[in-house]
Amino acid sequence: LTWHICTPRVINAEKSEFNEDQAACCQISIRRREPGLEEDEEWLILCSPQFLTGYYWALFDGHGGPEAAIIASNYLHYCIKQKLEAVVGGITEARPPMHLSGRCVCDSDPQFVEEKHIHAEDLVVGALENAFQECDEVIGQEMEATKQTGGCTALAALYFQGKLYVANAGDSRAILVLKDSVVPMSCEFTPETERQRIQHLAFLFPKLLDGEFTRFEFPRRLKGDDVGQKVLYRDYFMEGWGYKTVEKADLKYPLVHGHGKQARLLGTLAVSRGLGDHQLKVIDTNIEVKPFLSCIPKVNVFDFALHDIKEDDVLIMGTDGLWDVLSNKEVAHVVRSFLAENRTDPHRFSELAKCLVCRARGKQSGHQWMLDDSHEASYDDISVFVIPLHNRDEE
């Protein structure tokens, strides 16, 4: 590795028997193929470097057991490697060619590609999107074969060809803490943030709810006294609210229910995207949760060529255990002051990761864990990566 890799510090708050967070990091080497060369002509590129190198970090927050997170941490980088290798002939061009072979079927093909604004970067994004889908399938097969259950969120960062790609499916978070700014590199996917997508699916396929849930959102679970009254509600097409006359069917449990950290999909899951959960059913029913989950990540790209990266600039990746109790601003403050105070420590980035985890875990006081500011600390598993961005291409 050309780069410090700081082991994440993973803490288990004894919420479950095993820590359900998993982490992975590695180098990803992509074998080059020049477009237009057949397999037997590949000696032609021996003069140019044979591999493109990427660096990969990922966090997986498991639920219903650690198995899905473990499989994801063992496979996602391999899926990414495969998907990148499948398009590598296009990535090495300034503009990807219309045909991966490099052959021009139609004279104006380069113009069509230009009109669509397709760049090499878009192939990396597409590869990450496809890799998450592939990894989800692998997890489905592995879990079925071994009769295991559960799922996990996935947050993956890839440094490749001078750009940082962050792909997120779930409620982990990545931010860049730079000298003068904080750049969010992901957003969270929860039953609350994805309410409209989830409700719309139930509108299109009502059978998925098997008559046990209502797709409408209400400020609280309704009860018998509410029937006949007009109460606040939202349907799939509404960002605003309206009033609906309550019928008996509205007393069913809501598809998306609860608020903030208590929000649940089908009363079951706190996240709406991630890998696994192929077998997950709502307790005591035949209702499958998977159709409402998405394994597709949202990918954000940061181009280092457009920024002047300073010595203490870092990428922070953390599972929700960190962000539940510390805001972006608070994390940035800890990062900047810790690095300023520990200028010479060769392990300062991994010490910073430890420091962030300890902050979020808090201190034991009687039966409770408390933060410095006397708010309650995180009871969730907490994992943090601190990845320095300066001198990233040096040996």
Residues making contact with a second copy (CB under 8 A): 83, 86-87, 90, 96, 98-101, 103, 105-106, 108-109, 112-113, 115-116, 118, 121-130, 133, 204, 219-220, 223, 225-226, 229-232, 234, 237-243, 259-260, 296, 298-299
Residue closer to a second copy by CB (options 245, 368) is 245
Question: Residue 115 or 180: which CB sits closer to a second copy?
Answer: 115
In the complex, what is the shortest distance from the CB of residue 275 to a second copy, in angstroms, rounded to a whole number? 14
253: buried, middle or exposed (CB in 10 Å: 19+, 13-18, 0-12)?
A: middle
Alpha-carbon gap, residue 163 to 167, rounded angstroms: 13
CB 256 to a second copy: min, Å: 12
Cβ nearer to a second copy, comparing 24 with 299: 299
When the beta carbons of 101 and 141 are compared against a second copy, the nearer one is 101
Residue with Cβ nearer a second copy (9 or 81): 81
CB of 240 to a second copy, least distance (A): 3
Kind of pairing, strands 314-318 and 173-177?
antiparallel
Q: Which is nearer to a second copy, 230 or 310 (CB)?
A: 230
The whole-angstrom separation of Cα 104 and Cα 92 is 17
Smallest distance, Å, CB 353 to a second copy? 30
**Helix 328-341 vs helix 348-361: crossing angle, to nearest 10:** 140
Tell me the C-alpha distance between 62 and 24, whole Å. Answer: 14
Q: How many CB atoms lie within 10 A of CB 179?
A: 11
CB of 128 to a second copy, least distance (A): 7
Q: Shortest Cβ distance from residue 101 to a second copy (Å)?
A: 6
Asked if 100 contacts 51 with a C-beta cutoff of 8 angstroms, the reply is no
Name 365's Cβ contacts closer than 8 Å, sequence gap at least 6.
none
